[in-house]
Amino acid sequence: MRLAAVLLAATAALTIALLAGCGDEESGTESSTQPAPKAKSSTAPAGASAQECKGGAGAKVKLRATGIPCSVAVDLTKAWKQGKGCAPAPAASRSSCEILGGYRCLSVVTERGVSVSCARPGRSIAFTAKRG
């Protein structure tokens, strides 16, 4: 039941984000030809920005970590790969599991493989694993 609520909330958030990005080209606003100004310094709280990490067990695409070092992120990908029920079953499109350190992982099958997101408060990883 909790998993269903989490998946519903994630789906709703994704839908809202996608709809917010949609717009009408004839909305009356003109696009600027000047590039957006670059930030001079980050005001984000510690751990709020993601870093790209190399590798990971079965990682096919970039591994991104927030609030944890890359070495821990790689260990978490290995834990996901070895976790019972973490990868979606052959006929399934989604799965979820809990891994090392209380991280909850949600996985979904995509064209590129299995998109995985694991998190616990203040920390997260995201990567794409090879299918099957």
Q: For residue range 4-49, list pLDDT tens digits in order.
A: 555 555 555 555 554 455 544 444 444 446 554 444 444 545 545 7
Q: Write out pLDDT tens, residues 74-130.
A: 999 999 999 888 999 989 999 999 998 899 999 999 988 999 999 999 899 999 988
State the Cα–Cα distance between residues 89 and 107, nearest whole angstrom. 11
Helix-, strand-, coil-residue percentages of the chain, each rounded to 5: 25, 30, 45
